Every structure is written in C-alpha cells, then in structure tokens.
Amino acid sequence: MMSDKGDAALRTKWRELGFFAEFSDDEAKRWLIVGSADGLRRFCKLLRAYAADPRNEPLSEHEHCGPYGHLKLVTCSEPTFKRDGLYGRLDDFRRLADLIAGHLPRAVPGEIFEIDGAFSPNNEYALRVEVAPDEFDPPTRDRHLSPEGNPRS
C-alpha cells in the first residue's frame, strides 16, 4: 500500500504530465488517454518531442512516460498500438499527434474518440481518447491513489 507521501508525489507527477494515461484492460484491448483540451495538446507535444529527438531514431529506442512509466513510446519499423505501448517510426508519432490534434478544435468535454485503423491496420489495441473539462485533474482517474484528503486506512 502506498503512503500518503507517495500518493502526493504521484499526484504531482500526473499534474506535471497534464493528462491521464493507462492501459485500459485486456478485454477491451485499448489504451486510455484522458485530458482537457490543453492536457491532450500536452500529450501531442510529448509525441512530437519524442519524434523530434534524433536519439530516438534507431529501432527499439523508447521512452517511458507518466508517473508509473507504463505508457511507452517505442521506435519500431511499423506503427502499432500494443499492450505495452505505442510503436512506430518518428513520422508515425508525429502523425499520431496530428490525428489527435485534429479532433481538438471541435472537441467538447465528454467527447470520446478512438484512434485505431487511422494509425495502423495492424494494431493489437486501440487508443481511446476522452476529452475532459478544463478543470480536469489527472490524478483523479488513478484508481491506485486514495482520494485526496482521505488518507489510506
């Protein structure tokens, strides 16, 4: 069980990231990204930053993102969403950022969209994106954290 201090550190990391991300479940076979429009733009920025770094060009280069490091971006010869992360060439990560950013100008809180075949016909999983209200606080979606202000018993 995590300490209150550990919970506070994770909350801070989620807030710095600006969006919530998790592998949803094996049955649904999807990744989940939740954020306000600004938070989703931050996710796009993260994808573009990975793609802009020439050190990430060689195959198998990768970066773990988020408080737990579960969201993994991996340089691979073919784009795909897998259980352990998002894979593709650097151009694929830029394209993924563009696909998500393309939804944002008309997105409204509560809207959900999935990116699947538009990224790759070979995905093992899909990417579900939930648009949250502007005041969305990413750690509120982390089911491993105690509710803020309610210490663990």
Kindly report, residue by residue over 78-120, the tens digit of the pLDDT.
999 999 999 999 999 999 999 999 999 999 999 999 999 999 9
Q: Is the pLDDT of residue 133 over 70?
A: yes
Nearest to 33 by CA among 118, 121, 115, 123: 115
Q: Please give the DSSP secondary-structure letter assigned to residue 30.
A: E
Secondary-structure breakdown of the chain: helix, strand, coil percentages, each rounded to the nearest 5 = 35, 25, 40
User: Using CB atoms within 10 A of its CB, is residue 121 exposed (0-12), middle (13-18) or buried (19+)?
Assistant: exposed
The first and second tokens of residue 30, run together, are 């999807």
Are 84 and 72 in contact, with CB atoms under 8 Å apart?
yes
Entry pTM = 0.91
How far, in Å, CA of 14 to CA of 140, rounded? 9
Q: What is the residue extent of each domain of the chain?
A: 19-141
Average pLDDT score over residue span 127-140:
97
